Structure 1
Amino acid sequence: MESSPLTTHVLNTGDGVPASRMAVSLHRLDSQTMIWSMLSVGTTNKDGRCSGLISREAFCCGTYKLHFETGSYWETLGQTCFYPYVEVVFSITDPQQRFHLPLLMSRFSFSTYRGS
């Protein structure tokens, strides 16, 4: 797939390492029915990145969410966490731009921002 207009990068800031092997899914909200539709699923690589979430052709204006399976990730490390998953909801008004949404997390906190 051509370079995705939407990328993410997950960092385990508690341990100072990329969060590899984390399940990630991308969803779009139907503005008529207000129901989320899953568009794609993926897994972060050894650098904590998940590529190929959506093609430029499929990317349009609307409300999206990235769903990160944080609980399962921590469980594979033999640890527990406070947040079983994290969802980041965002609006796209110009699909011609590139969007990078990193997730910085520890077992008891998370933050995100719009990067480039």
Structure 2
Amino acid sequence: MSFSTHVLDAVTGRPAAGVHVRLEHEGQVVAEGRTDADGRIKGWNPGAGVHRVVFDTGSYLTETFYPEVVITFTVRDPAEHHHVPLLLSPFAYSTYRGS
């Protein structure tokens, strides 16, 4: 399985570069890093099961209601690619299963 994410800043309409992101499985951190200049992280391979991707939005946004965004998702088929994008603003966020 491969995992990727893309963080977009809804205020600026640009990618959110430098956001710290970690991926957890069964309470353990399995990968972590920062989004690149295009707001992306790719190439993580966490395996099957229930995972949490945690975005440190508080250190990216100077003022935010959500200092951290946590998205929990299930991988049923480890052979599939899983993409979890985040559209971010100081007082709202949105996500979906991407491709």
Q: TM-score, normalised by structure 1?
A: 0.81
| Of 66, 72, 86, the match for 2:69 | 86
1:64 maps to which residue? 51
Aligned length: 99
Task: Kindly provide the CA deviation profile for residues 15-72 of structure 1, in whole angstroms up to 9, marking residues without a partner as x.
Answer: 111000110000002xxxxxx1100110001100012322xxxx43210010000000
Q: Rg: which structure is higher?
A: 1
CA distance in 2, matches of 1:21, 1:72: 9
Structural mapping, 1:5-16, within 5 Å = 5-16=2-13
Report the 3-state secondary structure (helix = DSSP H, G, I; strand = E; otherwise coil) of the residue aligned with 2:4.
strand
Unaligned runs of 5+ in 1: 30-35
2:23 maps to which residue? 26
Name the amino acid aligned to 1:68.
F
- Whether contact under 8 Å (1:42, 1:53) holds in the other structure is no
Write 1 or 2 for the structure with the bigger share of strand. Answer: 2
Matched, 1:99 2:99: no
Name the amino acid aligned to 1:80.
E
Q: TM-score, normalised by structure 2?
A: 0.94
Runs of 4+ more than 2 Å apart:
51-54
Unaligned runs of 5+ in 2: none
CA distance in 2, matches of 1:115, 1:52: 15
- Whether contact under 8 Å (1:21, 1:46) holds in the other structure is yes
